[in-house]
Chains A and B, each alone.
Chain A
């Protein structure tokens, strides 16, 4: 019996065309990379029941279960329902018919470092933010990669994403509480940018040099340094891997609040909708920005965005990277 499949419908439903004829793989979203043990057990059962008992942990912190016969798609979707309910609907994602599986696959799983649920360096609960952003961007068909990292160590590699969100803090100094022990200055000088210098028995922070990592707060034995209330982020944009021109995401907005971050990402979907070349099977967002130019991107995604008073905005961006075509330095050795 030969299968008659609409490839687009299948792909939109988060099933893949795979190397093995008549077999597919399902991608399971885990926004923020956190799930409980019973959800893992459920995923394992799907792999055992419909696949060959194997599963793959994706680079984006989702799961991919291979070797599922295409005929089983409806059954797999039915089995996915509780996961979709718990990992998507629970967090405010709107999916009309959760029994029919995932309604889109373009928007990639939002990944996150472990964040402040565990990591002492983290400036926020990265998973919680990932889940809230999921509710803003999913379901969406445009191929977009978003990742959230709890501090500028960037363990999740936000620098390789279309949108890399780095949680930062704004350190506040209580002059009277400082005993001049130098711990913050040493930490900032050794590990970060040297934004703190001693001034007699007190310290001064160069606000421009400060990247908001929070090392000074962690180091201070008197709580003279604390984090300013509120959550702040650095938003990096248009990093990418790929066959043509891999490059690093660069800061577009700094010290902005969550509202700004989510609104800019939501606006980007409208921007993509307006400019994407529909003659191509898919056009990656970074290449759209290449075509329209940064200024058009900037102006469109900032529409209706109210920047908080602390915010800083990139006037221009140059993305470090390279063209894979440039091979002048590569010589054969034989």
Chain B
């Protein structure tokens, strides 16, 4: 392990040097592409230079698209055979991301790679291209509750970076980068700090087994009328991993086409619909319950830690001001016999 200090300009040169071997992804600002006019969209995208790295604001879409794109073709078919498409590019990728998102992708690893005996090959082939460069996160954004979710820290990175005005500090854990990082900078002593408190805190339910009455509890009812099933909380979430499969046939062909998997989410209409028209969760409140239990109860029972990493994106993007963190607290209060208000 080694550490270096740079001016921003010097580090920009390191960045450019890395680009010769790697594609570098990070949160990027797209001017004017936000939901409202004259607002910007921040999402993960390839960075042309260090200047494109957005640090001031949280991205509204998470880096999960790097391993689990919104729409991915899983095979092409004709009347008698099918073939798996190749990735357009196969090079290695450095992704600059914060601790919550590193932990978020670790959750996705559980879902796609360790859930059952077959690892998901589509996920795997994208995942193995990634190298994590952690953006040090010492101050939380609005709605973050990573500390409560214990996802504020991680050592799952190859390089950690501190961006402080005109200075950049790096901690390099993986020796493959040592030469390159050492050339341009001065030896330093940087080791990353982690945010130790958020404005938002959640109290997680402590029950071993969720009492049956919580499934039909009236605390979920308010979401029937509040939630509009827009699905933003799912699409923006770094750990939502649900998808639907759809087939599309090429124009004028009954036999040739492709199967895709596209993001789906428990809040969206049609998500739990089955052939024959049965739908498991018609009411929005039931969907909120399903999501909440999955994020902070069911997943833990299976993997030993919670699915939600407290990135707060679901709260950031909900047009109806539904706060997931408040919902978790409400659930815990109710379980303890307190008010469900």
Which residues of A does B touch, CB under 8 Å? 116, 120, 122-125, 167, 169, 175-181, 183, 200-201, 214, 217-219, 221-224, 226-227, 229
Contacts and interface: CB of A to CB of B under 8 A. Distances in A.
5 contacts: A120-B36, A124-B38, A179-B262, A201-B246, A221-B236
Given A183-B230, A223-B61, A229-B32, A200 B38 contact: no
A193 B246 CA distance: 27
Given A178-B70, A181-B268, A226 B37 contact: no
B41 A179 contact: no
B31 to A, nearest CB: 7
A175 B70 CA distance: 10
Interface residues of B, number: 29
B289 interface: no
A219 B228 CA distance: 11
Given A201-B248, A223-B41, A223-B61, A176 B230 contact: no
B38 A223 contact: no
Contacts of A177: 70-71
Contacts of B34: 226
B46 interface: no
A214 B268 CA distance: 21
A179 B248 contact: no
B71 A176 contact: yes
A116 B31 CA distance: 16
Interface in B212-234: 230-232, 234
Contacts of B38: 116, 124-125
B231 A227 contact: no
Given A221-B230, A222-B263, A226-B30, A200 B36 contact: no
Interface of B: 30-38, 41, 43, 60-61, 69-71, 230-232, 234-236, 246, 248, 260, 262-264, 268
A217 B36 CA distance: 8
Nearest to B232: A221
- Of B61, B71, B231, B234, chain A has the most CB atoms within 10 Å of the CB of B71
Given A167-B37, A183-B231, 8 more contacts: A116-B38, A179-B263, A180-B262, A183-B230, A201-B71, A201-B260, A223-B33, A224-B70
B70 A179 contact: yes
Contacts of A217: 35
Given A217-B35, A223-B41, A178 B231 contact: no
Contacts of A169: 37
Given A116-B37, A227-B33, A221 B231 contact: yes
Contacts of B31: 229
A175 B73 CA distance: 13
Contacts of B43: 223
A116 B38 CA distance: 8
- If over half of B's interface residues share one DSSP class (helix, strand or loop), that class is named, otherwise mixed; here it is loop
A125 B37 CA distance: 9
Contact of B35 (A123, A183, A218, A229): A218
From B31, B34, B61, B70, residue with most partner A Cβ within 10 Å: B70
Contacts of B36: 116, 120, 122, 218
A179 B37 contact: no
B38 to A, nearest CB: 6
A123 B231 CA distance: 24
A181 B265 CA distance: 10
Contacts of A226: 30, 32-34, 41
A178 B231 CA distance: 13
Of the listed residues A116, A175, A177, the one surrounded by the most CB atoms of chain B closer than 10 A to its CB is A177
B70 A176 contact: yes
A230 to B, nearest CB: 8
B37 A123 contact: yes
Given A179-B263, A183-B230, A201-B260, A222 B235 contact: yes
A176 B261 CA distance: 11
Given A179-B70, A201-B248, A227 B32 contact: yes
Nearest to B236: A221
A120 B39 CA distance: 11
A227 B41 CA distance: 11
A131 to B, nearest CB: 16
A132 to B, nearest CB: 15
B248 A200 contact: yes
B257 to A, nearest CB: 10
Nearest to A128: B38
Contacts of B32: 226-227, 229
Nearest to B72: A176
A178, A217, A222: residue with the most chain B Cβ atoms closer than 10 Å? A222
A214 B37 contact: yes
Give the 6 A-B CB pairs with smallest separation, nearest first. A226-B33, A201-B246, A221-B231, A221-B232, A179-B262, A221-B235
Nearest to A117: B38
Nearest to A177: B70
Contacts of A167: 37
Contacts of A214: 37
* Listed residue (B32, B41, B60, B234) with the most chain A CB atoms within 10 angstroms of its CB: B32
A176 B69 contact: yes
Contacts of A179: 70-71, 235, 262-264
A268 B115 CA distance: 70
A301 to B, nearest CB: 27
Contacts of B246: 180, 200-201
Contacts of B262: 179-180, 201
B35 A223 contact: yes
Nearest to A116: B37
A221 B71 CA distance: 14
Contacts of A218: 35-36
A227 B268 CA distance: 24
Contacts of B33: 223, 226-227
B230 to A, nearest CB: 5
Nearest to A220: B35
A200 B71 CA distance: 13
Contacts of B234: 221
Contacts of B61: 222-223
A95 to B, nearest CB: 29
